[in-house]
Each structure stands twice: as C-alpha cells, then as structure tokens.
Amino acid sequence: MFPTREQKDITRPPKELLLFIGSYRVLAAFVCTLLSIGALTLPAHAATAVTYFVSPSGSDDNPGTSAAAPFRTLTKAQTAVRTIDTSTSGPITVTLAGGVYRLAKTLTFTAADSGGGTAGTIWWKAAAGQTPVISGGVHITGWAKTSTGSDIWSAPAPTGLDTRQLYVDGVRAQRAAGSLPVSVTQTATGYTTASGDPMAGWRNPSAIEFVYRGGLGLWTEPRCPVASVTSTAITMAQPCWNNSTQRVMRTDGSGRTYNLVGRKSITEAPTAVENAYELLDKPGEFYLDKSEHRFYYIPRSGEDLTTADVEAPALDTLVATSGNASDVPAHVGFQGIQFSYANYTTSNTGTGFSEIQATYQVTGINGYATQGLCAFVSDGTCPYANWTKMPGAVRFTYDKSVHFDHDYFVHLGAAGLDLGDGSQNDTVTACVFTDISGNGLDLGGVDIPQPNSAAQHTSGITVKDSHFYDTAAEYHGGIAIDAGYIETSTITHNQIDHVPYTAISIGWGGWPDKVSLPAQPNYSNHNTISDNLIYDHMSLLGDGGAVYTNGITGTSMASGEHVTGNVVHDQLNTSGGHVLYTDNGATYVSILGNAVWNINVSPWGSKHGNYTAGDGTYDPTDIEGNYWPNGPSDYDNKGVLIQDNHNITGADQIPSSVIAAGGIESQYQTVLSWQPA
C-alpha cells in the first residue's frame, strides 16, 4: 500500500529542516576540526577559591570555612589544605586571626603543601588589620618578690626548660652579666687564679659563660661555658675550649702563620662574664636557675610583673621544610605574620660558641683540627670552610617560589629567616627583622660550593624593601643579611641600621689567598646588591663593613657580583675594615655609583693577589662612579680598574637623586613604623 499525500507530508522532513540539519553537520565538523588543532578553546567553569580560617580562640572541630567557625591550630589548617586538588582549585588562602599561635613542635612544609596549577600560590596570611604571632615561647607567670625590700622577683620555669632569653612585654631582658672578679692566667684547660676565687662559691658555676669580644679576630665574639671552678682554677667546657685555643695554623712563603680565618687562640681574659645569679644587679637582667627551675629578674622602671606578658623561648624552629631534595614545597606564601620566641641553646652546652665569622662556628671534638680544613690538613673534612651554621627560626631548604611579604621576624634566639641550600626563586618583600640574636637573614650556605645537581643551587632569590635593625643582639658578630654561595640573586632597596657588625655579607671561601693559594671554587654568579640604605653599622666589632664580599663571585666581570647605588653613612668604628669591602679572594666584583659619607675608615679596600689565575695579577675588580671621602686614586693595572670616582667631604656634594634612590621604596615605607604585636 502506498502512502497518501498527507502521510508523505508527515513522515518526510520539510526542505528547510533538511537544509538546517545539513548546515549544522558542516558547522559541527568545522568546530571539531578547530578543537583538534587547538585553534578554539571552549570556556571552562571558573575554578572555585578556597579559604580556611584559623583563630587562637577557634576549635579544630569547626569546619574552618568561615571566620565565625575557624580552626584553632595551624596543623589542622595544613591538613585541610592538603586535601585540595590544586590542579583544579582556585586560589587557596589560610587566613589567620590575630593572637598567639603557640607551637609545641615545628610546623613542617613538604611537597604536599605546594600550590601551583590553577591554585597559584597558597597564601598563609593575616586577617585584615590583625597580626598573628607564630610563637615558640611559653608564658611565664607566678611572679613574686624574693624577699621584702629586694629588687629581685622570681617565677617558676617549666621543668626541663633551658633558654638564653626572656622577654618582658616584648622587650628583651639581658642575662645577668658583669666583669671577671679575679685575675687569671691561661692554661691548656682554662685558667689558674689567685687563691680565693669568689666564683668557687657561686651557685651553679657550670652555668657561667665567658665572653671574649674580639677574641678570635676583631670580627668575632666567641663564648665558652665554664665546666668547674675551685679556689685556684677555672676549668673550661669542652670542646669549646680546645676549638677556641688550638686552631690549626699554616705558614705562607714569608714565614707568617695563619689560621686562614682569624687567630689561633683566645689569649686574653674574658671581656665579660654572664649567667650567674651573683651578677644579677641591674634592672632588666635575669637569671634562669635550671637546677631549681626558676627565673629571677629585676624589673625595669614601669614594669609590673603581676600583669606583664613574660615570654621564654622553648622551641628552636618555628617553621621549616623537610630538608629533603626529593620533597620540595613550592608556591607557598606568608603574609602579615609575626614569627617570635624561637630558642637556641647549643651555646649553653660544651660546644659553646667558637666563632669563625658571621656566626659560623667550629664544633665537635677535634673540630679545631679538622672541620672544614679539607686539603689544608691531612685529615681535614671537606669542603673547605664548611663550618657549622647557626639555625634560623624559620628555615627553608630545597624549596621553590616561597614568598614572605610584610612578615616580621622579632624576638628570636638564633638567626631569623634561613633560605638555605636548594632555595630557588624565593622572595622577601617589605619584611622587618629586629631583636634577633644572630643573623637576620641567611641566604644559601657554605657546605656545597660545587653542587652535584641543579636542585642544590640556591638561586633567584630577591630580598627587597625590608628593614633590618638591632639584629645580632646577642651574637654580635652576626650579619643583617648574610649570603654564602648563591646565584642570580638580588638584595635591593633595603634599609639596614643600628647593627653591631657588617650589614650585608656575600661570598665565602676566599681565605686560602692568605697562604698564596686559590680560593675555594664555587657556583656563585650574577648577584646584585643595589640601592640599599645602610647606616650606624659596625657599632661594636671591627674589620667589617657596610657590604662585605669574600671569595669567587663569577667567571667574568659581567657574571660577577655588582655592588651598585648603595647609600652608606656613619660607619664610625676605627677598628679596621672598609665601607665597601672586597676581602680575601673576592673576584669579579664591580663597585659602581655608590654614595658614602661620614666614615672613620677607608671607603673601599682592598686588592688581593689572584692566586686562582696564578699570573701575578690581582682579583679582578671594577670601581667606578662612586661618591666618597678620601677614596683611592685612579688605577688601571693587573685586573683592578679605579676611575671616575668623586672625592667629597659631605653629603651635600652628592646628587640628591643618588641619595634618594637608596633605601626602601615609597610604596613600602610603612615597614619603617611597624611595631611588634
């Protein structure tokens, strides 16, 4: 049976529809072709931002997804962040409310904490207008006067606590200190004294510490504990004493002997004695009696210990990475956070503090005879100049793209921030470093001068627009910014003031030139120190400078170190050094367009024999276009070029544009008025 006309009209599509379907098929095929060749990308759904909230008054039973229901601990927030797929997530933020986050153990970051992908950098940041404090301290309460009419107050300390610091309402107290109460004669094990040494009757004589300002070189201040005291003898603790009195010497061609770095031995009596109850006699001093677990303190004028916030450091490291080159955290940032009350007590042990330079120290039994001496002694350990580094309160090694922005490092017992071996493409921007016992900021290390892999390089670090002041508050040979072996890094537009020794130090391993041998080969190259404002430095120790360089810094003038546009004034010490200081083995250093005035030392020094080349030339150095008083004469010989510098008598002879360019840039000036929480 054939269909009727009406049936045909119903079952067959109209011509217009057939034309539409055909066109659609052509269009679909065209779109598929575009997609296959990447010429067309269809819009994706926007990745969802994730924010977690933390507060000291929160609870880890909360969801942590709102400020009204925050987590309580940083570890809970870290666990939550680790569950997020950063390849599809939007921005991830952990917002910290103001208050104190007391850590019982180090907050450790691993590859599991990394950002990247669509998440970008994972930011741990302060809530708007608030300052969270990540603290390693314990709150000391229960203060009472020791007796009627006494100025000394006491409070119980947690059992087992050992610390070298105490802070009262955010102000560092000083360990009880005074002068040596008896004349001494040095021996192989310590000292002999006149009969009747009063220290023999002091409580806890093994807690006493001797301090030697300039004891192992003008730039050092070693410290050694006492082991025991009798009426006629003081026995010093080991290995600190041997490491500070028996350092290996080497003779150069002229017959002079060197330890390569510093002196062979402490030879003077201690310049100060610390940590004895019997020396507690001034407001602001404290003493911790570890045997009875009790603090003693004399309040300063205006302090009320019944209401004061008294903090004692207990935890050494606040935040760190695993230190494993195969477990690298990346794309993590910290913003608006204060890091405080980290501890460091190695100096209290027999190790003491046998300083070499920049708070690096000799440690270990027979360390004086072997540590870091490599080929210079038959059983020396390698690499050369690998001495023990003081740890940072915040310590990152083997990391990528970690950022510190408007963070505050204050009230810390060793170094502040350490971006060590394998730290790459990190930034430090608009941060404050103050009231730190040792170095403010450490970059790189001295243990891997010639890395086996790219992962071990410290590279691409930028430190900018940050304020460093009152660093090296206890270990006075410390540096505001200390860089060992690093590459392609920049230290720029910072302000460094009121520090006891060198402001910026970069490079390592140049000392073999003292015995006419090449400096330690290393990977450092393409580093720049520019447009920093530095003043009132070198206030206690000697033989340093505003910018100090040491060792090989590249393979040519182009790839070497550039010290440019820095503004320096008021280096008023008279105990050696230079303002812009090229020390042992400093090779391929350019010193260009800096401004220097009001100084008591030479603005630049000095040239050294280039024993790496071994051709009778000097370490290549370029010194041009600087403004300074009593500068060197023009010179172009044997690798050293000095020309077009301007000898001045005062700052008014320096172009205002040069001076104005130094220091913290205008958009970051608020860091200069920051106050700790």
Count of alpha carbons within 13 angstroms of residue 310, beta-carbon side: 25
What is the three-state SS of 596-646?
EEEECCEEEECCCECCCCCCCCECCEEEECCEECCCCCCEEECCEEEECCE
Task: Return the number of other C-beta atoms located less than 10 Å from residue 475's C-beta.
Answer: 28
**Percent of the chain residues past pLDDT 90, beyond the cut:** 89
- pLDDT (average), residues 553-575: 98
Cα(405)–Cα(481) distance, integer angstroms: 17
Q: What tokens does 620 get?
A: 């290549």
Give percent of the chain with pLDDT exceeding 70.
Answer: 92
Q: Pull the structure tokens for residue 335.
A: 């913003």
Does residue 416 sit in the same domain as residue 284? no
> pLDDT-based confidence at 47, cuts 50/70/90?
confident
Q: Domain count of the chain?
A: 3
How sure is the predictor about 376, in pLDDT bands with cuts at 50, 70 and 90?
A: confident
Segment 270-298 mean pLDDT = 98
Per-residue confidence band for 390, with pLDDT thresholds at 50, 70 and 90: very high
Average pLDDT (590-610) is 98
Residue 21 lies in a domain: no
Enter the tokens of residue 334: 């910290």
651 and 511 inside one domain: yes
Residue 235 lies in a domain: yes
Per-residue pLDDT of 202-231, as tens digits, reads 999 999 999 999 999 999 999 999 999 999
122 and 147 part of one domain: no
Residues 198 and 337 in one domain: no
Q: Are residues 325 and 257 in the same domain?
A: no
**Span of 115-124, 180-189, 248-257, 270-279 with lowest mean pLDDT:** 248-257
Strand, coil or helix: 414: coil
Average of per-residue pLDDT across 545-552: 98
Q: Write out the residue range of the structural domain in which residue 107 sits.
A: 50-130
Per-residue pLDDT band at 272 (split at 50, 70, 90): very high
Amino acid 378: pLDDT: 85
pLDDT higher than 80, residue 15:
no
Same domain, 95 and 152: no
User: What is the reported pLDDT for 16?
Assistant: 46
571 lies in a domain?
yes
pLDDT digit string (tens) for 448-478?
Answer: 999 999 999 999 999 999 999 999 999 999 9
**Distance between CA atoms of residues 677 and 363, nearest Å:** 36
Output the six-digit token pair for 59.
């609870």
Among 62, 97, 130, where does a domain finish?
130
The pLDDT of residue 6 is 38
- Of 97, 112, 130, at which residue does a domain stop? 130
**pLDDT of amino acid 149:** 86
| Confidence bin at 377 (pLDDT 50/70/90) | confident
pLDDT score of 223:
99
Domain presence at residue 368? no
Same structural domain, 88 and 171: no
pLDDT, residue 256, reads: 64
pLDDT at 45: 53
Task: Say whether both 565 and 513 belong to one domain.
Answer: yes
Q: Give the global pTM.
A: 0.93
**42: pLDDT strictly greater than 80:** no
The answer, yes or no, to whether residue 618 has pLDDT greater than 50, is yes
Name the helix (H) or strand (E) containing 22: helix 15-36
**Residue-level pLDDT at 252:** 63
Phi-psi region of 63 (alpha: psi -120 to 50; beta: other; left: phi over 0): alpha
Whether the per-residue pLDDT at 10 is higher than 70: the answer is no
Residues 174 and 239 in one domain: yes
In a domain, 8, yes or no: no
Supply the pLDDT for residue 420: 98
pLDDT digits (tens, 9 = 90+) for 627-666: 999 999 999 999 999 999 999 999 999 999 999 999 999 9
Same-domain status, 328 and 252: no
In this structure, the answer to whether residues 456 and 547 fall within a common structural domain is: yes
Q: Which of 130, 150, 173 is the last residue of a domain?
A: 130
Do 57 and 145 lie in one domain? The reply is no
* Residue 575 or 10, more confident: 575
